[in-house]
Structure 1
Amino acid sequence: MRVHAREFVAQVTRRNRLPLDYTVASLRVVDFMVDGLRKAGAGVPRPERVLYGLGVYVGEVLVRQAGAVWVEFDETQREYFGQAVGVRMPDGRVWNPLGRVVNRFDVGGEESLQTFYLTLHGRARKAA
């Protein structure tokens, strides 16, 4: 998934100087990108590949900033989350960043990805 995130970032930043640097602050940029896709998408099919790439990026931010690891979901988790992969936090909790991006697209501003990170349970504590 890390390679997919890196390739996605390289692709979307090739022509734009988007600050997708795997920081928590960059999740606000992802919020704006999803909102832009949502507003532009009236009457067109959902941009699945872009949403998937953004979801992988969000997951990679969790890996790099919160101590999460990528995991393949078991059959029950796949059915529940509607995704094949997610992240496991240091405390053992499992989260679905790909689904969070889709929710942001479907619902709108109520599902901020930056707020998701900031209120996320199970993050690794940074050493002082």
Structure 2
Amino acid sequence: MTTYQETRPSAAAKPVRWAADAVATMREGARLRLDYSAQSLWRVDRMIDGLRREETPYAAVDSVLRGFGAYAGEVIARQSGAEWWATGGDHWIRTPDGRLWDPIDEARRCFTGDGSLRLLCRDATHGAALR
């Protein structure tokens, strides 16, 4: 019997680990439960907004944002059957309709006040819901 993670493409290895680390860190440090649901991305967006409002230096949250972005990518993958793609150290989600999404960059955009992981998930999974 193979597990969910064993059947994933190798491009998923790092983002899956980053997402799991973000889930564990939020559970242990912030007492925030992330369950890989689209609804949980509301909490992640609020957490990033809080870091921005506190004027946390970007260098201090870069790996946290990467983890949140990977988490959002995993939510999209699980909701739509999307797959992780990687090239040159960058990671994207490719939805079944062939579109590419960059949830890690979107998390960074959230930190600048110009993005939303919740809305990214909605847009990325919308095509899957229409099938």
- Considering fraction of residues, name the structure with more helix: 2
User: 1: distance between equivalents of 2:101 and 2:39?
Assistant: 19
**Deviation (angstroms), 1:121:** 6.2
Q: Secondary structure at the match of 1:119?
A: helix
Pair 1:103 & 2:109 matched: yes
Aligned to 2:32: 18
Aligned residues: 116
Aligned to 2:52: 38
Q: Secondary structure at the match of 2:44?
A: helix
User: 2: distance between equivalents of 1:45 and 1:122?
Assistant: 31
Pair 1:85 & 2:91 matched: yes
User: 1: distance between equivalents of 2:58 and 2:43?
Assistant: 22
Residue 2 of structure 1 aligns to which amino acid in structure 2? V
Return 5+ residue gaps in structure 2 as ranges.
1-14
Distance change in 2, residues 1:11/1:121 (3 Å): closer
| TM-score using structure 2 length | 0.77
Deviating runs (4+, > 4 A) in structure 1? Answer: none
| TM-score using structure 1 length | 0.78
Aligned to 2:120: 116
Q: Secondary structure at the match of 2:64?
A: helix
User: 2: distance between equivalents of 1:72 and 1:126?
Assistant: 27
Q: Secondary structure at the match of 2:92?
A: strand
Distance change in 2, residues 1:36/1:71 (3 Å): same
Q: Secondary structure at the match of 2:84?
A: strand
Residue 118 of structure 1 aligns to which amino acid in structure 2? R
**Deviation (angstroms), 1:48:** 0.5
User: 2: distance between equivalents of 1:2 and 1:121?
Assistant: 18
Residue 33 of structure 1 aligns to which amino acid in structure 2? M
User: 2: distance between equivalents of 1:102 and 1:111?
Assistant: 8
Q: Is the 8 A contact 1:68 1:123 kept in 2?
A: no
User: 2: distance between equivalents of 1:102 and 1:3?
Assistant: 18
**Deviation (angstroms), 1:114:** 1.3
Q: Secondary structure at the match of 1:92?
A: coil
Q: Deviations over 1:59-113 (max 9, x none)?
A: 111111121111113x6xxxxxxx711110001111100011111111x1x5222
